[in-house]
């Protein structure tokens, strides 16, 4: 059997290029639902309904779409058990576990700076003082 080697171009990983494969991967793993799913899975194996319960506010459709994308990118492993009804479980792959460290860091950053972020948002969203020239024009 002959296997074809995929030749990678260095630009595939250049996140500054619009046509970079890295940007496509970022779009899949760096959205709020993917980050929350990765955080919830942690080092556990969970069923679909357990994930939906743990990720408050996610719809059935969005959870399905996000899990499919994470599976496609090799971040999540999906295992279907041949039972009636079928039992489907999800867990992080090795790549997902490595990404989890980054996600956990982002969660820690959010907890650490939540008060400062809320204050900054209030200042930004406050009506501008009419005596000062607009800094955001």
Q: Which pTM value belongs to this model?
A: 0.77
CA distance 113 to 119: 10
CB 58 within 8 A of CB 72: no
* Residues 37-50: tens digit of each pLDDT: 999 999 999 999 99
Residue 13 has pLDDT above 90, yes or no: no
Q: Which residue has the tokens 């005596």?
A: 131
CA distance 114 to 108: 10
Please give the DSSP secondary-structure letter assigned to residue 13: G
């Amino acid at each position: 059997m002959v296997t074809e080697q995929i030749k990678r171009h260095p630009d595939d990983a250049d996140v500054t290029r619009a046509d970079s494969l890295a940007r496509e991967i970022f779009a899949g793993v760096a959205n709020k639902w993917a980050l929350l799913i990765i955080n919830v899975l942690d080092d556990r194996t969970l069923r679909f309904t357990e994930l939906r319960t743990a990720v408050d506010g996610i719809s059935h459709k969005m959870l399905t779409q996000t899990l499919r994308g994470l599976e496609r990118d090799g971040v999540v492993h999906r295992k279907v058990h041949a039972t009636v009804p079928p039992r489907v479980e999800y867990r992080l792959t090795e790549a997902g576990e490595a990404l989890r460290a980054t996600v956990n860091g982002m969660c820690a950053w959010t907890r650490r700076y939540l008060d400062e972020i809320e204050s900054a948002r209030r200042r930004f969203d406050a009506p501008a003082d009419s005596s000062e020239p607009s800094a955001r024009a």
